[in-house]
Amino acid sequence: MSTAPHRPLKLVASPVSRLEGEVRAPGDKSISHRALMLGAIAVGETTIEGLLEGEDVLATAGALRLLGAECEMVGPGAWRVRGRGVGGFREPTDVLDMGNSGTAARLLSGLLATHAFTSFMTGDASMRSRPMMRVIEPLSRMGARFVARQGGRLPMAVTGAEIAMPIEYRLPVASAQVKSAILLAGLNTPGETTVIEPEATRDHTERMLTGFGATLRVEPRPDGARAIVIVGQPELRGGGHIVVPGDPSSAAFAAVAAAILPGSDVTIGNVGVNPTRAGLYLTLREMGADLTFLNERIMGGEPVADIRVRGARLRGIDVPADRAPSMIDEYPVLAVAAAAAEGTTRMLGVHELRAKESDRLASVAAGLAANGVRHDIGEDFLHVHGTAGAIPGGGLVATHIDHRIAMAFLVMGLAAKNPIAVDDASPIDTSFPGFVALMAGLGARIAAG
């Protein structure tokens, strides 16, 4: 949490010949946040299985407790939530500390926007540098008031609307977080609230809202966009059981590591393969990866599969801009696959990476440069010139307190000619507790530097 002193943890990944084994990815972080939040505003008790117990999700649980919901861990990954009903939060007695989680901060802002009290929100050093204007602007139209630092940054005060106004809002950029914040605000707003998204983004919020009994519909628009309409002031039903699938963004690290190491054979069990999140796996297949979905099924309304990846020679491709919403968190580790491939991989439409835990586009480019990988970078693109399996390595990567940068370059170190170090791996626990142990179980060599 942001009140604790930050202690950097340097890790070094050393080259290995291959990876092999079966593992399970930790619970999906996006779904874990939403399961806690919707359980907290439902009537009755909701049980959750497979919840990710990383620092980000625990920050969400802590904030919901301060707002009056009961969130209790009853076993590993097993939680019980007793909700307050839509509009039933109470004024918190302390600051809501969202740690490193932009998802939690933005979605919770949507819930707070329609509660007629003032709350205060903060986060860790990385979170306090990230802009919140993209949710402040539409939620202000609904009647909420915000006082934030310059640029709409945390710490921030939120005063919810006495009577919220429904809006129709067209997303200026593809963002599931902004969409979800508006839909959650629309729950406690009379009438119909509409979000128009020009490009489809992850739809976990819509799926879960429907499961809790909200009235929601999706309407295609003539211009190819789609409108998501939510009817306000329902009574959401608790009493259900939510099974959280494995996180495809976390599974991506083991998948890419296996794909770029010849002779590897890795299966990652119980991974969510929702089409709005599976862009990386489609891209890896286009690059020539030997990647198969096994035992495909539906769990808790979400498509799930076991993913088997065997090492193969990858080739560079053009990754279209319209794929970005389905893999926005995976570009750092895709850059690692591109570095190992033969030829150039061109990633387009990636401007959103500049508003993540770090300026991820700049952080990835700097990490590539530190390890001898040629690349070209622009405001909205990254071109990686592959080494055909001969990544020089040997560099020290600055993570900028970003868990995905740390994990991506540790994966690169497994396939490079020389070890690769990251200056601070401590943020990994925010989203993927047990990452080093999981990778070690497959044969990876990652140790303190």
Catalytic, out of 28, 247, 329, 424: 329
Q: Is 329 a catalytic residue?
A: yes
Look-up of token digits 């969400």: 60
Instruction: Give catalytic residues, as residue numbers.
Output: 329
